[in-house]
Structure 1
Amino acid sequence: MITIYLAEDQSLLASALAQLLDLEDDLHVLGTAADGQQAWLDISREIPDIAILDIEMPKATGLDVADWIHHAGLKTKVIILTTFAQQAYFERAINAQVNGYLLKDLPSDDLVADIRRIQGGATIYSPELVQNMVTASKNPLTEREMDVLKAAVDGASTKEIAKTLYLSEGTVRNYLSAIFSKLAVHNRLEAVHFAQKNKWV
């Protein structure tokens, strides 16, 4: 019997997925959580064979939980199941040595088959994500420049970015200038579009 823990903040999806998995003779869902902190508490206590984690959850993300499982040396294998095909998320998941990174539009039969394969020792990443990794341009921006760019995604002003990141407006302008130069773009809109195209944000 493969024991599974499911962390998903959308209650309807969590309930449906738990029922679906429990229908399989060799799968058993030990429990579910709607936030990352509760998931970690339960997983560290129950030590399921597999933890299926959404990324964006309250209190702690699925990637946070994956990091904690990895650093704690638990035998629990981790599957990230998400709608997000962002390169930055995928790279962090790889660093946490997750065993699977799958998208939520995966057919249920394929998910069940992948769970069994992962329990058997396989590592499975969504083909779309691997393709994105191969084709995406290498990100030339520093971590701080990325912080500024991410803050600009929703159209924040220089003043708003400065307040959010606890920087002076002059420092933010310097970072933006460096970003424009490195990406060979002329303004924030072009920089954000370039970053989104390459799955950096």
Structure 2
Amino acid sequence: MIRLLLADDQALVRGAIAALLGLEPDLEVVAEVGSGDDAVAAVEQHSPDVALLDVEMPGLDGIEAARQIRERSPVTRVLMVTTFGRPGYLKRALQAGASGFVVKETPAAQLADAVRRVHQGLRVVDPALAMDSLTAGDSPLTPRETEVLQAARDGASVAVIASRVHLSEGTVRNHLSAAIGKTGAANRAEAVLVSVENGWL
């Protein structure tokens, strides 16, 4: 029996995936949670064989949760299951230690098969997303530019962003300007949008 943890902030989606996978004779859902923080805690409590994580969740996002799960429970494999099939997400998830990445439109039988393959130690990636990832290239942003743009996602002022990332306002303006240039955006709001759409944030 392969023991599973499901983490998705949408209860309806989480319940549907649990119900579908629960029909498989060799799969058992042992925990369902709604955030990345809860996923990390549930892995420590239940020691599942495979954790299925959404990317965008409150608190820790799925990618950071994947990193922490792999650090704390190396025997637990991670399969990302997300609505957002963005090339940048795929690269970041694999770098964080995820063994697979599929989109939520994946048919139930294929999802169950992906779980089994990840459990066996294989890597499973949605083919269309893998192709997009190869053609998209890496994020042009430096880690600091990424951090500043992340802090600017809610439209905060330069002063607020500076306090969030512990930099001077002038340095924040420089990073925002560089990020705007690298993303080909007209302003920082557009730079955030371009970066989110590519999965760089």
**Whole-Å separation in 2 of the counterparts to 1:106 and 1:199:** 20
The alignment partner of 1:134 has SS state of helix
| Equivalence for 2:18 | 18
Kindly indicate whether the alpha-carbon contact (under 8 Å) linking 2:88 and 2:198 is maintained by their aligned counterparts in 1: no
Query: How many angstroms apart in 2 are the aligned matches of 1:186 and 1:56?
Result: 26
**Alpha-carbon distance between aligned partners in 1 of 2:180 and 2:87, rounded to the nearest angstrom:** 21
* 1:17-37 Cα shifts (integer Å, max 9, x gaps): 112111111211112122333
The answer to whether the 8 A contact 1:136-1:199 is kept is no
Contact 2:51 2:79 (C-alpha < 8 Å) held by counterparts? yes
Unaligned runs of 5+ in 1: none
State percent identity of aligned pairs.
Answer: 41
Q: How far 1:199 sits from its partner (Å)?
A: 4.0
Quick check: 11-20 or 80-89, which moved more? Answer: 80-89
Tell me, yes or no, if structure 1 residue 92 matches structure 2 residue 92: yes
Cα RMSD over matched residues?
Answer: 2.7
How many residues are treated as equivalent by the alignment?
201
Contact 1:132/1:199 (CA < 8 Å) preserved in 2? no
Residues in 1 aligned to 2:3 and 2:133: alpha-carbon distance in whole angstroms: 31
Matching residue of 1:105: 105
Q: Report Cα offsets for 1:147-198 as digits up to 9, x if no partner.
A: 3334445555544543543433322222233335555666446645654564
User: TM-score, normalization: structure 2?
Assistant: 0.81
Instruction: Specify the structure having the higher radius of gyration (Cα).
Output: 1
Structure 2 Cα separation of the partners of residues 37 and 195 of structure 1: 24
How many Å separate the matches in 1 of 2:57 and 2:190?
30
2:31 is aligned to: 31
Residue identity matched to 1:200 = W
Q: Secondary structure at the match of 1:80?
A: strand
SS of residue in 2 equivalent to 1:114: helix
**Structure 1 residues 36-47: aligned runs within 5 Å:** 36-47=36-47
Q: Structure 1 residues 13, 166: closer, same or farther in 2, change over 3 A? A: same
SS in structure 1 at match of 2:25: coil
SS at match of 1:122: coil
Q: Distance in 2 between matches of 1:2 and 1:81?
A: 17
Question: Equivalents in 2 of 1:102, 1:150: separation in Å?
Answer: 24
Query: Where do residues 67-82 of structure 1 align in structure 2 (5 Å cutoff)?
Result: 67-82=67-82
Deviation of 1:53 after TM superposition, in Å, equals 1.4
Report the alpha carbon displacement of residue 79 of structure 1 after superposing the two structures with TM.
0.7
- Partner Cα separation in structure 2 for residue 61 and residue 85 of structure 1: 15
Return closer, same or farther for 1:200/1:60 CA change in 2, 3 Å cut-off: closer
